[in-house]
Amino acid sequence: MIPDSTASWTPEERAAFIARRRSRNIALGLLLAALVALFYGITVVRMAPGLENGKPTVGPTAPPATPAP
């Protein structure tokens, strides 16, 4: 439903509004895709040290802590 304030728009105003809304939606979509790609890249980089000789390592990669005396 169109609000009453936009009911009196001319076809040119309506077309301009739709074009602006479309460009905003495209910009938000590209931003979201970039964020997804960034998170994917960070995940791959963080998991890469766990792969040695093509085999995943099990458990923590840091040496175990020595007990306190």
Structure confidence by residue, pLDDT tens digits, 4-57 = 677 789 999 999 999 999 999 999 999 999 999 999 999 888 887 766 666 666
CB-based contact 61:49 (threshold 8 Å): yes
Dihedral class, residue 59 (left if φ above 0, else alpha if ψ from -120 to 50, else beta) = left
Tell whether the model's pLDDT for residue 2 goes beyond 60. no
Against a cut of 0.75, is the pTM above it? no
Q: Can you read off the two tokens belonging to residue 47?
A: 């998991």
